[in-house]
Amino acid sequence: MSTAGGKGVTAVRTSDTNQQEPVVRIVRLRAANNDALEILKEYYEAVHVVQRDKPEDIQKIIEAPASGIWLAYSRDQVVGCVVLRKLQSAPLSSECKRLYVKPAVRGNRIADMLLDAQEEYARNQGLDWIYLDSYDDLKAAIALYERRGYKRCERYNDNPQATLFMRKYIGDHRTPVKESSQR
């Protein structure tokens, strides 16, 4: 993976042995756009999200420190997204939100590419931890997070839909603090 000229665009190739290799681009947004609004709306409907970001909140997330929105594109169509938000309640931490890949393109490691870009950015921002919440029905997502090194932790927010809380140490220059809140 390589970041193109500091412009927030990361180009990645992914392969599917059954088809021609699709080219997937991961883009960190500099400004809100219709692609972001459309994929987030699809995500909200797919997982029945109650607390939804308003369109005016998207630009605030993009501009906030230690935060951002990444979109995955395949053949110039948006196929996935992930959001990172600074956590005010935990120092040197942000929260992974809204990870979603369209069903038609799952199995091409697009979620991994989105999380790779998000984690690289978070490390470059000097963060040590990424937290996330989910709920028990999202078995594939939970398996992905566990495979990527996320560990269960105590509740850290008031999301009424969340039943599961996880975090991952991403700091590469220090030893993580003892994880006393781990289950």
Dump pLDDT digits (tens) for 61-88: 999 999 999 999 999 999 999 999 999 8
What is the secondary structure of 68-123 as a DSSP string? EEEEEEETTEEEEEEEEEE-TTSTTEEEEEEEEE-GGGTTSSHHHHHHHHHHHHHH
- Token digits of residue 13: 């190739």
Q: Which residues contact 181 (CB under 8 A, 6 or more apart)?
A: 153, 154
- Token digits of residue 53: 């970001």
Dump pLDDT digits (tens) for 103-143: 999 999 999 999 999 999 999 999 999 999 999 989 999 99
Dump pLDDT digits (tens) for 32-71: 999 999 999 999 999 888 778 888 899 999 999 999 999 9
* Chosen CATH of 2-128 out of 3.30.1360.170, 3.30.70.640, 3.40.50.280, 3.40.630.30: 3.40.630.30
pTM greater than 0.75: yes
The rounded Cα 68 to chain-centroid distance in angstroms is: 9
Return the number of other C-beta atoms located less than 10 Å from residue 104's C-beta. Answer: 9
